[in-house]
Structure 1
Amino acid sequence: MNKKVISAVVMGASLATAANCMAYEAGDMVLRIGLANVNPDTTNNTVVPGLDVEDNTQIGLAGTLMLTNNIGVELLAATPFKHDITLDGTKVGETEHLPPTLSIQYYPMESSSPLQPYIGVGINYTAFFSEGTTGALAGTKLKLDDSWGLSAQLGVDYSINDQWLVNAAVWKMDIDTNVEVDGTDMGGLEIDPTVFMLGVGYKF
């Protein structure tokens, strides 16, 4: 057999092996870490006109367990996000929160593809803590109720080699909380953030 043909066969086999190494298969665990930005949308709040919640960036961590070659379950976590609360552009308070989110994901590409876009739907639980007031509201007690809501997700992985990958993802979350000031119910606040994350991942 011609040496060039032999070389081509060997190279093709090597590429096929590499592709199989990059495959997402049932039982695989993919751990992603990066910078996550929570950007709230408070345009529909019923508390006080002009009340807003500023965005914040923290370390995001997401782990996916592949149930099949195309379906995974993901848990999203992060270091606590800290948001300034403003009224007509002036800071009047702040809060911290943790937004763990559990999602079912679908990966439509062939499992051997190094490019793996995915979509997901899930449920979000947001725990608020360390609420405080400043400025005109200084000295009052602020309380935000925890929230349960739905989430939707779009993301993409690109394999660098058989284990490492780069990742970009975006979530839209339904986060609604009730606001109390000095024990007085002020009404509901729709935060409904868009969450952006850019990072790297490792496949086990």
Structure 2
Amino acid sequence: MNRKALSALVLGVSLAATANCMAHEAGDMILRVGAANVDPQTSNNTLVPGLDVDANTQLGITGTYMLTDNLGLELLAATPFKHDITLNGAKVGDTEHLPPTLSLQYYPMDSSSAFQPYVGLGINYTAFFSESTTGALAGTKLQLDSSWGLAGQIGVDYSLNDQWLLNAAVWKMDINTDVKVDGTNLGELEIDPMVYMVSVGYKF
């Protein structure tokens, strides 16, 4: 075997080994930490015309356990999101919430690929708390009920080496909450946010 052929063979084996160490494989635990933005889609709500819920960014954390080379189970968590509630542009209150989401993910690429796009479908539970009022609603008691709903996601991991990776992900969540003011149920508010996250991940 000549020197060029040997060099090519060594390079090929090295690249293959590098690719394999980048793989998502059954049994891997992947922890991702980054910035998560929740953007409620309430501008077209029919509960109270002009009522809107502002976006907010917090620390987002996801943990994925790879059930197989192509299937993962992910839990999304975050520090509490705080949203201003406005009516025709004027603040009338605010609330905090936590939206833990459990999703089953599918990774279609071969496990040797550094790029690992994925899709996911799961269940979201949203708990609202620390509601307060101001402006036109000052002096009233605001209550937002907890919510269960479906969540869909798309995302992609890019492996930097066999442990570190970069990630970007988007979720669409079905979040509907009953709104009560001084105990009177005003009806259901559809929040249905888009959630965007960019993060750094580590594989165990």
Q: Same-fold call, TM > 0.5?
A: yes
Stretches of 4+ aligned residues off by more than 4 angstroms: none
Give the number of equivalent residue pairs.
204
Q: Which residue of 1 aligns with 2:160?
A: 160
Q: In 1, Cα distance between the equivalents of 2:159 and 2:168? A: 12
Q: Which residue of 2 aligns with 1:50?
A: 50
Q: In 1, Cα distance between the equivalents of 2:8 and 2:186? A: 72
Tell me, what secondary structure is at the counterpart of 1:192?
A: coil
Identity of matched residues, %: 75
Residue 139 of structure 1 and its aligned partner are, at CA, apart by 1.2
Q: Which residue of 1 aligns with 2:34?
A: 34
Tell me, what secondary structure is at the counterpart of 2:104?
A: strand
Q: Which residue of 2 aligns with 1:184?
A: 184
Residue 9 of structure 1 and its aligned partner are, at CA, apart by 1.4
Amino acid at match of 2:117: P
Residue 96 of structure 1 and its aligned partner are, at CA, apart by 0.1
Residue 6 of structure 1 and its aligned partner are, at CA, apart by 1.7
Q: In 2, Cα distance between the equivalents of 1:119 and 1:203? A: 19
Structure 2 gap ranges (5+): none
Residue 47 of structure 1 and its aligned partner are, at CA, apart by 2.5
Residue 3 of structure 1 and its aligned partner are, at CA, apart by 2.0
**Contact 1:46–1:187 (8 Å) recurs in 2:** no
Q: In 2, Cα distance between the equivalents of 1:185 and 1:12? A: 67
So what's the TM-score if we normalise by structure 1? 0.98
Tell me, what secondary structure is at the counterpart of 1:14?
A: helix
Tell me, what secondary structure is at the counterpart of 1:42?
A: coil
**Contact 1:164–1:200 (8 Å) recurs in 2:** yes
- Pair 1:149 & 2:152 matched: no
1:129-153 Cα distance to aligned partner (Å, 9 max, x none): 0000011111111000000000100
Amino acid at match of 1:97: H
Q: In 1, Cα distance between the equivalents of 2:88 and 2:46? A: 15
Amino acid at match of 2:17: T
Q: Which residue of 2 aligns with 1:140?
A: 140
Residue 4 of structure 1 and its aligned partner are, at CA, apart by 2.2
Amino acid at match of 2:111: S
Amino acid at match of 1:24: H
Residue 44 of structure 1 and its aligned partner are, at CA, apart by 4.6
Amino acid at match of 2:11: M
Q: In 1, Cα distance between the equivalents of 2:146 and 2:47? A: 16
- Pair 1:4 & 2:4 matched: yes
Tell me, what secondary structure is at the counterpart of 2:68?
A: coil
Residue 202 of structure 1 and its aligned partner are, at CA, apart by 0.8
Structure 1 gap ranges (5+): none
Q: In 1, Cα distance between the equivalents of 2:45 and 2:6? A: 68
1:94-143 Cα distance to aligned partner (Å, 9 max, x none): 00000000000000100110000000000000000000001111111100
Amino acid at match of 1:164: W
Q: Which residue of 2 aligns with 1:201?
A: 201
**Contact 1:133–1:139 (8 Å) recurs in 2:** yes
